[in-house]
Structure 1
């Protein structure tokens, strides 16, 4: 029987500072993030471009997928594809310089076959424990489909799914056409 070696937060940050790949932390276990497919990268870039200007005008900060998020209740450090904060960002600073965002408000995940079950269940459940978290966006990389899940109160979340090109997807106070988010994506490749 093989026993996993658990690491401390400090050891995780040391490993992350030396690593060429992004590492996530889950209660002492460290996992390397896999690379992504072209559709995933294009969608993340399109979302960043399309929502970036509007969010900036609203006084929000839009972070790319390289921003580490701390989920204290779950003893987790994780990455999303995009994260939005409309108040002043609060960070847990590490001596190694990798600062973890503590107050994400809107989190966007571009789904892949390998990550979708985790993003929809355990990861979402952990994000829900963050007081500032109020909106979760799940973007399909296999078909035109975006699910926006908004917090109504501590126990209730409302989900709306967008699938039509001419629909305006609302994230925060910003609206963008679904067809613009999926621009240049060819699902037959």
Structure 2
């Protein structure tokens, strides 16, 4: 990730992002250019998207790939997730410029970890996502080893963390039960 050093306002960032040829995130006055992902990362994202689409088809949830910007107001950030699920009505920020949608109410966010993003996704990004009132689950999928960590909001508004490393096991992502073998298909053969 490459960080721009000159401070920028959220409004200037959003105007810039609407016209940009490449994606960048906004982190409290700084823009961070997003690097492309390696093949194992992209394969895992594709596998999960396929499993979630099949599970949620015909239900009131929508699955989105990494091009939907998410606002994290408590942290003064705009970020992209690898996969986002929204159930019920999609709520977008009312922006004056066209060409950019900013999601305000993700229900499930999935990040596929790579060497360059793992620490950020497990720490700062995690803290910011868990502050979203709409978020029900945050899922971290490691692309270098078999490991899926889920943070699931309980009825008492606490977060329950579960780590799964057994390739023959399944993980609960929202209403979908997904086999780790399907998540890591072609990565572990």
What's the TM-score, normalizing by structure 2?
Answer: 0.91
SS at match of 2:57: helix
Structure 1 residue 162, shift from structure 2 partner: 1.8
Question: Do the aligned residues in 1 keep the contact of 2:108 with 2:135 (CA within 8 Å)?
Answer: yes
Question: Do the aligned residues in 1 keep the contact of 2:19 with 2:99 (CA within 8 Å)?
Answer: no
User: In structure 2, how many angstroms separate the alpha carbons of the residues matched to 1:120 and 1:165?
Assistant: 21
Structure 1 residue 186, shift from structure 2 partner: 4.7
Superposed CA deviations along residues 116-143 of structure 1, whole A, max 9, x for unmatched, are 1111111111112211011010001011
Q: Deviation above 6 Å: which 4+ runs of structure 1?
A: none
Counterpart position of 1:146: 148
Counterpart position of 2:24: 23
Gaps of at least 5 residues in structure 1 are: none
RMSD: 1.6
Correspondence for 2:175 among 168, 173, 177: 173
Q: Decide which moves more: 125-134 or 36-45.
A: 125-134
Counterpart position of 1:13: 14
SS at match of 2:60: coil
Does residue 68 (structure 1) correspond to residue 66 (structure 2)? The answer is: no
Q: How many residues align?
A: 184
User: In structure 2, how many angstroms separate the alpha carbons of the residues matched to 1:141 and 1:14?
Assistant: 33
Structure 1 residue 9, shift from structure 2 partner: 1.9
Counterpart position of 1:107: 109
Does residue 135 (structure 1) correspond to residue 128 (structure 2)? The answer is: no
Question: Do the aligned residues in 2 keep the contact of 1:13 with 1:96 (CA within 8 Å)?
Answer: no
Question: Do the aligned residues in 2 keep the contact of 1:145 with 1:162 (CA within 8 Å)?
Answer: yes
